[in-house]
Amino acid sequence: MLLKRRDDHAIELTISLAQLKTLYRALFSRLHAADADEFDALDEDDMLMTLQRFLQHRAAEAGVDVANHSAWDEFLGFRNAPGCQQRFTDRDRPA
């Protein structure tokens, strides 16, 4: 991984595809945790969507059907990931 300062307001990050998948999994998992209200702004930010689109393009290039959640999760490296219905049910359940 390489971090390089471009100017006072921007940095460049160079990471491998495997590292990007790990970063995406961590952000996605934290964002969708039941107590993640503090990260609601991240859900509305373009950063996570930009990462997701980039990874979906790489997945498609590798022959992965990104509309198939199991295939998408496998590409990302999630292990025993719950389905989308379960993820959002868990997230939206009152504490």
Domain ranges of the chain: 16-92
Provide the pLDDT for residue 41.
65
86 vs 76: which has the higher pLDDT: 76
Structure tokens at 22: 């790990």
Provide the pLDDT for residue 63.
97
Residue 7 is given by DSSP the state E
Residue 83, C-beta contacts closer than 8 angstroms, at least 6 positions apart = 69
Confidence of residue 27 (pLDDT cuts 50, 70, 90): confident
C-alpha pair distances (Å), 25 with each of 5, 7, 10, 29: 25, 28, 23, 6
pLDDT in tens, 31-54: 777 666 666 666 566 788 889 999
77: phi > 0 → left, psi -120 to 50 → alpha, else beta; which? left
Task: Give the mean model confidence (pLDDT) for residues 45-68.
Answer: 91
Q: Is 0.75 surpassed by the pTM of this model?
A: no
